[in-house]
Amino acid sequence: MMTVFTERCALGPEKGMRVAIKDSIDVAGMATRMGSAAFAQAAPATAHAEVVERLLAAGCRMVGKTVLHEFAFGVSGINPACGTPRNHRYPDRIPGGSSSGSAVSVAAGEADIALGTDTGGSVRMPATCCGVYGFKPTFGRVSRRGVWPAVTSLDCVGVFAPNLELLERAEAIIDPRYEPQAFSGELHIGLVEVDADAAIADAIGLYVRTSGCDVEAVELPLFEAAFEAGLTVINAETWSAFGAYLETGCVGKDVAERLERAADTGPQAVLGAERIRQAFSDQVDALLERYSVLALPTLPSFPLLLDEALAGKTDLRSTALVRPFNLSGHPALSIPLDIDGRPAGLQLVGRHGDDARLLSAARELERLVATTNKND
């Protein structure tokens, strides 16, 4: 039996989409434990998070709350306290963090869709590791009422799904402004030049060019600075939210050490990160005036082997290509790819607030690639 759910439940009608909920999102009557032994005695939530209310009102059936990397502050998905969800499709690889259980629940068919949260890639990374779709909406577009931590300038509630159709159905439920649309016009893709494993970079380039649409190489000069700034902001905000729990002695070793380092994040560092946030956002916006979407790998390398992670290895650089778009707030989608039996992802980034346009572009890209492959 895979360690996917912290607690199973059967909320909602017997029929309807089965939904799994990351255990950083409140469900009335169930404790929100954040994947931590420090929250073992937490009282049950007294109300549903707004996104949960919307799902239940739409006739979805909640099947359980899912395991996560403790405090949503890790990229591997390893959790000694609650158990580590086993990557269903790539069992020798990590499930990815922090929304590990949500990604696994969809990959394993335990849920039709799942909710996670994405502060520095925590939906898109596990989606790639587990071979499913993962979407981070524009920052602030989907309600975070009832989601932990309460105060953040990075975190978004995002959706996992096995395909774009179900992902868009879910997005239309949790985002009242979201209306699926048909793609119109020509698809122009800016292929962002990044430092990535050659096999992954080549596969991404081949995929987008197979579509036959206009593809041009582009640069984001502040990309690396945005990654570092994103780390600075998440360190400051996570320390503020969870630093006090170090005193319990119940925080896992990897997260405790990272929190201790985060405590040294000073106001000047945060101020510098905010300057990078604005400048990088402007760079992304400028490119998206010329292109329908930006494309790049979701992860710069293949996910860690599970045995390596269980032995204590971690790699924050695995979020190098996703974290910058948390800082800028742009919507971003990860499309699963398989490269010689190893998981990878194609990340598409769209304009602020234009989430439906981004997903319609993804549908069009998939259609064009499928048509080309069929004709070949």
**Choice among 36, 76, 98, 153 that is catalytic:** 98
Q: How far is CA 360 from CA 45, 133, 289, 333, 364, in A?
A: 36, 14, 17, 11, 6
- pLDDT grade for 315, boundaries at 50, 70 and 90: confident
Residue 211 annotated in active site:
no
The CATH H-level superfamily of 5-375 is Amidase signature (AS) domain (3.90.1300.10)
Beta strands (DSSP E) in 84-141 are 113-118, 133-136
**Choice among 24, 102, 105, 122 that is catalytic:** 122
Quick one: which of 43, 64, 60, 42 has its CA closest to 51?
60
Q: How far is CA 20 from CA 76, 100, 114, 164, in A?
A: 20, 12, 5, 17
- Looking at residues 124-130, what average pLDDT do you find? 98
Distance CA 246, CA 270 (A): 22
What's the confidence (pLDDT) of residue 76?
Answer: 97
Residue 122 annotated in active site:
yes
- pLDDT grade for 376, boundaries at 50, 70 and 90: confident
**Choice among 22, 99, 102, 318 that is catalytic:** 22
Q: Return all residues near 289 (Cβ < 8 A) that are at least 6 apart.
A: none
137: Cα within 13 Å, side-chain hemisphere: 27
Cβ atoms within 10 A of the Cβ of 100, count?
A: 36
What's the confidence (pLDDT) of residue 115?
Answer: 98
Portion of the chain with pLDDT greater than 70, in percent: 99
1-5, 54-58, 62-66: least confidently modelled range: 1-5
> What is the tens place of the pLDDT at every residue in 176-222?
999 999 999 999 999 999 999 999 999 999 999 999 999 999 999 99
pTM recorded for the entire structure: 0.98
Do residues 40 and 33 lie in contact, with contact meaning Cβ atoms separated by under 8 Å? yes
Torsion of CA 7, 150, 98, 165, to 10 degrees: 80
What's the confidence (pLDDT) of residue 14?
Answer: 87
Quick one: which of 131, 68, 76 has its CA closest to 101?
68
Residue 318 annotated in active site:
no
Q: Could you say which DSSP state residue 31 is in?
A: B
